[in-house]
Amino acid sequence: MLYGVADVTQILNAIEAGDRKAAAELLPVVYDELRKLAAARMAAERPDHSLDATALVHEAYLRLVGDQRFDHRGHFFAAAAEAMRRILVDSARRATADKRGAGRIRVALDEAHRIAESPDGLIALDDALSRLEALAPGRAQLVKLRFFAGLTMPEAAAALDISLATAERWWTYARTWLYAALGEGEESPPS
């Protein structure tokens, strides 16, 4: 069975139903979009990073094709954003292992493009994002989609199945909370 680019959800449903051919068809259909997301993400990374966009896509895809089930295209790309985030954070943690001191630094979220310039900044963001996720999971997911997957606000809102206005409110909340957490170590969200 052949699928077009717009049929990611149909392929995901076929995979869930046990169609082995559908699993083989998924990567070619989503590869270009995943590659664009990874390229945008890697453009913000330090130049000497050990991964390139292709390697990031392949690592993320391998993490996605396990036992996970996806309800729709947005769910798949949200999972891809999370996989890319974890890969980059794991890489940053390895880079700041004992030989490099593993020190933490404070970084303003408004300077998102600069966060990834250092492994410490990426780890600080990941730690703060994990704390935000415990308090406000939807807002944390929005940050992951915007920062790690490079989605625009309308794309992220669609992936989360929320209105653009809600996404903008969540983004303001998340940025404010993360800015405080990164700058001062504050654990509670602003009121």
Structural domain count, the chain: 1
**Per-residue model confidence (pLDDT) at position 184:** 57
Over residues 31-56, the pLDDT tens digits come to 888 888 887 777 777 666 667 778 88
Is residue 179 one of the residues assigned to a domain? Answer: yes
- Residue ranges making up the domain that contains 133: 5-184
> How high does pLDDT run on average in the chain?
75
| Residue 191 in domain | no
Nearest to 77 by CA among 170, 162, 149, 25: 149
Which distant-in-sequence residues (6+ apart) come within 8 Å of 169 by Cβ? none
Is 36 a domain residue?
Answer: yes
**Does 101 map to a domain?**
yes
Residue 190 included in any domain: no
In a domain, 168, yes or no: yes
Range among 35-44, 67-76, 105-114, 165-174 rated most confident: 165-174
- E strand or H helix that includes residue 171: helix 164-184
Report if residue 123 sits inside a domain: yes
Q: Report how far apart, in Å, the C-alpha atoms of 175 and of each of 31, 45, 153, 182 are.
A: 30, 20, 13, 10
The 10s digit of each residue's pLDDT in 134-167 is 999 999 999 988 887 788 899 899 989 999 999 9
CB atoms near residue 162 (< 10 Å): 17
Contact between 56 and 41 under an 8 Å Cβ cutoff? The reply is: yes
pTM for this model (two decimals)? 0.49
